[in-house]
Amino acid sequence: MSTIPSTELETFDNARPDRDYTIHIETPEFTCLCPKTGQPDFATIQIDYIPDLKCVELKSYKLYIWSYRDQGAFHEAVTNQILDDLVAATDPKFMRVTGIFNVRGGVYTNVVAEHRKVGWVSPELVQLP
């Protein structure tokens, strides 16, 4: 097992590209550094996506998330960068990245960034009784 962080995201073929289904990934131990103070920022990163032809491989995703540990990044920038990198690797039909950052100075920050593939139409939500 690798013990080195990496920015390379690996993928694998989606076994069911004909079906819209959601993959949910939750990472409760995300850390980066405040670019102003150098102090650690802690967050939960949630990813929800509907894959097209590729899915992200989770070990590479873990090493990718680890790569932020020593980087200075504003909450808004890091959430959008994670989205950009995952979209570049997987080209999903839809992806949402939510950064839920722990309190700092009495302020909580949640950042939500989304991507929709051109031409993709969201299926209707089924309401069950």
Task: Provide the annotated active-site residues.
Answer: 34, 41
- CA-based angle 93:43:12, to the nearest 5? 35
For tokens 């950064």, the residue is: 99
For tokens 């540990």, the residue is: 69
In angstroms, the CA 8 to CA 104 distance is 30
Cβ proximity of 12 and 54 under 8 Å: yes
Q: Residues, the chain, total?
A: 129
Coil, helix or strand at residue 74: coil
Residue type, 46: Q
